[in-house]
Structure 1
Amino acid sequence: MPYVEMASRSATGLIECAALCNDAFWFLKYSGNGSGSGTCDLYTLKDAVYSQLRFVNSSNLYKKVYPPENAFVGISEGKTWEGARDFCQSLGGNLAIADSTAKVERMNNISSDVSFWVGGQKNGTTWKWLSGAVVAPTPLENDKASCLQVHYSQFHDWHCTGKMKSVCEF
């Protein structure tokens, strides 16, 4: 059976190996060395766009990136908006600019959550992308906050110090 991604972790047995699985992993293989420890290989199945993928390895976590012109990486660790932007920049990108419906749909396919940070902030009374372009459509402002999130495929304001997943763009 073909697989796209594999992550190896140390484990003391098959039970501990199975405990390392989450929804992203579809197959595991445990190899013990006879001394009570071994290696747990966690695999993710290939998807329909496998031939278009390239992989970024960050801190031993394998992430999907969809080329060509806008490559997106979903970051599953919850961070503040500023922390998410800094993390994306440390990888050579920035928080994603979701300036089209198609981009928002692609980001939704990458993120495993219904809410995630994107690269927009409120400057005075105007919402702008990190590129300087005006955010359209205007985000819903239920929380009187100044950082932009995608929530159920729509732009919403949220408090910049809140922690959530994010999407980086390269």
Structure 2
Amino acid sequence: MVIPGEITEIVGRRSSGRTSALLACLAGVTRAGGIAALIDSEDALDVESAAHAGVELKRLLWVRCGRVRRQAALRAVDMLARCRGFAVVAWDVGDTPPRLSLALAFRLRLAARQGGAALLIVAPRRIAGAAATLAVEAERRGTRWEGAPPLPARLAGARLGLRVLRSRRGPTAGTESWELLA
């Protein structure tokens, strides 16, 4: 799903599966031996969930931006995307995404191209505009519950889908679904 040297956006509402898609991406990269960076604008990463999703934490640089989130996050994304050695640089902007100027978005894409890393932006809405090579929307398609009445039900999994919003490298329409188990 991520393309080296390009920007990929994963967008979606809360509980849409956008963070699950991010963790699946990071897990794939780190399991394959790559180094990943995650810039966490709102300090929201649950490390246990990341490990449970298969992310090898020893291969993940986690940047927690603290109180000066926006500027620190932008500087970290720009700097890490330029560094060689990262397979993916992911930026979780949280629930209040910044407004990126088109010039800044293209600057981030140039940084990714110079460093060779795939730049992954996770947000509630698109922020990279025309600078993104691929944009997908995460959607929750249903939930699976365990337990028979009168016992309380337990969440056993969720069916998530990704819908292509923009692609400069292939088909522009289509969806992909998968199930995540709790």
TM-score of the two chains, using structure 1 as the length reference: 0.29
Compare the two structures and name the one with the higher strand fraction: 1
Larger RCO (alpha carbons 8 Å, 6+ apart): 2
Whichever of the two has the greater Rg, that structure is 1
Compare the two structures and name the one with the higher helix fraction: 2
